[in-house]
Amino acid sequence: MERTTHTLLVGDQATEFATQLGFKEEDLHSDKSRDLYKQWKQKNCQPNYWKNVVPDPKQSCGPYKPKPFPPNRNKQELSEDSYKGIGSDNHDTIGMVVVDSKGNVAGGTSTNGLNHKIPGRVGDSPIAGAGSYVDNDVGGAAATGDGDVMMRFLPSFHAVMMMKSGASPTIAAGDAIKSIIRFYPDFVGAVLAVNIEGAHGAACHGIEKFPYSIRSTDYSDVTVLEVPCM
């Protein structure tokens, strides 16, 4: 079977290539986003996601300095790291896995992330194995949810390796979620998996149900499916 070679461009290379394709660099700020930022600053930068710093990030905009880190932390303390305010109004992630007619697999994850992220933060989306992962001989997976937690477990990679061992996409996605909630019982997120045969499945935790869209020869158009969460 013919395989396709892909090249990843980052930084200035990506900008130059996009310019060659006719895309123009532009400021994506809007009047709305600027107003939201001003209001946030006026409220002492609340909410924000700084932890283990001084001054108190719940009352101050900083600048912050690290404070001594507790030597021992139990599972309950770890679970408190998860941000419980995730909702449809402040979070936006798109994950996609595609298997073409030649059997090539591609995947990607794009996210707007949560509002008021820490400057310089790198989320799970660009991390191979966390936001998404594919193997041309197996299939692919994509994940969404608490990115700071998912980066520690690489759920997309986990799901693909489970499928490589013979698990169905549904079982693989579920096992990836279970590996997270063992340590983070308050985790909110989901994993979608697809194998090279076109079988698909998903698993989720922390919400009632998780919808995902599928288009294949089994459906005449894009179909939205839902799975109940753990």
| Helix intervals (H) in 94-154 | 147-150
Interatomic CA distance for residues 108 and 134, integer angstroms:
9
List, in order, residues 6 or more apart from 35 with CB less than 8 Å away.
none
Interatomic CA distance for residues 218 and 31, integer angstroms:
44
What are the catalytic residues? 93
Interatomic CA distance for residues 144 and 124, integer angstroms:
9
Q: What are phi and psi of 101, to 5 degrees?
A: -65, -20
Kindly give the pairing relationship between strand 105-111 and strand 132-135.
Answer: unpaired
The CB density around residue 167, as the number of other CB atoms within 10 Å, is: 18
Q: What are phi and psi of 79, to 5 degrees?
A: -65, -25
Cβ–Cβ < 8 Å for 137, 90: no
